[in-house]
Structure 1
């Protein structure tokens, strides 16, 4: 579907220079002289390279519709993560690199959404929040509660997150896999 350059929104997938890109940041500019344009930060869906591109309001770009399928996480190895399609029960393998840092938050049986284009799986959307157990947390420093402060903790998947002082080892917490931030107790 063709859209104007100023209609690009964050999260849109576009075809540009014979590659698929996801729009990460958009800055709409209306200069005093000349036409309006959008300064768009793009990330290549396949290899993650970034590109800053300027699209005039009069330009058209091809917006790509990705097919979304509900799937369940099965297992992962060094190079691929394997999921099962919830409708057809087919196994789908996605390169681990496509998941980035979110791969560490995958849990057995987790429900995810796989986005694919022309049958090729490109990206995986994890749930907004994930329950994890804290396996190691630093001790609370006395008097530290005067201001809102956080301490480092290590989760069961080996990821380090910042948590409030009252969180101790063995506590289950809720974490956002998109950026690894603490949300609350589970």
Structure 2
């Protein structure tokens, strides 16, 4: 266990509170004009999957558990869970739906992710910062509309909703941020 201050807690970290382990789902620091800065954290208890929310002063200390972080390639999902393979040893691991959570829309065959394990059990997934997806549906390109003027809604592979520039049409492959699902650029492949 290592001590960290609340403002350093990030998504995917594992913290110990009252002898229970929690995986951090979201962590936000708030700095009001008056008053004490606080860190608002949403977590899932590892033992039973219960979600809880906590708020600490940014200077309070927490116990952070040591978690192994290993690279895996996504293979497929079925009724038993999501299956990943370690690229060097070819060892396979199955991960439950509650651990994957919202990340499931980004999982594609061969996508390289980091799985965080504690005592041999997978407790969190870390996606790459950017992924390439294909635009499946969007409004048609409007002639004369400039790229800087506005963005239009698009539906991509995996039913991911993204706002894209006007020149992007259906069938175009684009790069998006996994954290906030924002458009980055047209894919170069």
**Band of TM-score, shorter chain:** 0.7 to 0.9
Give the corresponding residue for 1:161.
162
Instruction: Decide whether the 8 Å contact of 1:10 with 1:26 is kept in 2.
Output: no
Q: 1:20 aligns with which of 7, 18, 22?
A: 22
Moved more, 118-127 or 90-99: 90-99
Instruction: Decide whether the 8 Å contact of 1:3 with 1:60 is kept in 2.
Output: yes
- The alpha carbon displacement at 1:97 in A equals 2.5
Quote the RMSD (CA, aligned, Å): 2.9
Q: 1:40 to 1:134 in 2, by over 3 A?
A: closer
Instruction: Decide whether the 8 Å contact of 1:78 with 1:96 is kept in 2.
Output: no
Do residues 44 (structure 1) and 44 (structure 2) align? yes
Unaligned ranges ≥5, structure 1: none
Q: TM-score, normalised by structure 1?
A: 0.80
Which residues in structure 2 correspond to 1:71-82 (within 5 Å)?
Answer: 71-78=72-79, 80-82=81-83
- The alpha carbon displacement at 1:132 in A equals 1.1
| Residue correspondences, number | 181
Q: 1:91 to 1:167 in 2, by over 3 A?
A: same
Q: TM-score, normalised by structure 2?
A: 0.79
- The alpha carbon displacement at 1:178 in A equals 2.3
